[in-house]
Amino acid sequence: MTTVHRFGFLAEFLRAPGVVAAVTPSSAALAAAVTVPVPLDGAPVVLELGPGTGAFTAAIQRRLPGRGHHLAIEINERFAAATATRFAAVHVTVGDASNLREVLTGNGFGYADVIVSGLPWAAFAPERQDDLLAAIAGGLASDGVFSTFAYSSTRWMPPARRLRRRLTDHFEEVLACRTVWANMPPAFVYYCRRPRSRPRGDVVTRVKSTAAQAHATVGAR
């Protein structure tokens, strides 16, 4: 991440702290951990929520060198424009992440194989968290993986504990990786599977990938 990107991130935080909710972008180490579920083969549909300055976007693209479909939804117009310019292979939509089903269907996809989130969960009210997680569970393939992160320092505070409860409300399996210390502040990643929003066995046209199982190798516990 360049100094220009860091200052740009800080500037957007100062403009809208409730939307950006962090003063520095995520590190390469955290980006690597949160994007582990992105398959290294096949042609998966990967949906990224809140790409910001592109830390996770770059990691996803490294795992998808010319393969699959990478969609991103960013509510901040400046971040969206910068991401679209920097990553020509990514289809960027300016909008609210809760409208992700419209973005998927608008691009010809029923569900995403992987959903990667950079959203600031701690900044959201409970109702907002529920709306977003319901949309994510509804837009994820039944054998897909949703990954998101939280800061270790606030892990036991009420908003973080509420998020964990909300995740288990929407997914049958929720695993947390070990702390990624090479991030400011240190963070950890949630890997969520088997969305509860619809019956098992739904038929979706997509490419299955056993690489999505790799999330368990990031020290998940």
pLDDT at residue number 217:
38
pLDDT at residue number 199:
43
If you ran DSSP here, which 8-state letter would residue 215 be given?
G
Q: Cβ atoms within 10 A of the Cβ of 14, count?
A: 10
pLDDT over 70, % of the chain: 78
Give the model's confidence band at 135: pLDDT under 50 very low, under 70 low, under 90 confident, else very high: very high
Query: How confident is the model over 192-214, as a mean pLDDT?
Result: 53
Give the model's confidence band at 153: pLDDT under 50 very low, under 70 low, under 90 confident, else very high: confident
Give the model's confidence band at 198: pLDDT under 50 very low, under 70 low, under 90 confident, else very high: low
Q: Which of 142, 149, 131 is nearest to 25 (CA)?
A: 149
pLDDT at residue number 197:
63
Distance from C-alpha of 221 to C-alpha of 218, rounded to nearest angstrom: 9
Q: Is the pTM of this model over 0.85?
A: no
Does residue 130 have a pLDDT over 80? yes
Does residue 9 have a pLDDT over 60? no
pLDDT of 12-54, one tens digit each? 443 444 443 444 678 999 999 999 999 999 999 999 999 998 9
Do the beta carbons of residue 149 and residue 115 sit within 8 Å?
A: no
List CB contacts of 32: < 8 A, sequence separation 6 or more.
59
Kindly give the interhelix angle for 77-86 and 3-15, rounded to the nearest 10 degrees: 160
**Chain center to CA of 202:** 23
Determine the 3-state secondary structure of 19 from DSSP: helix
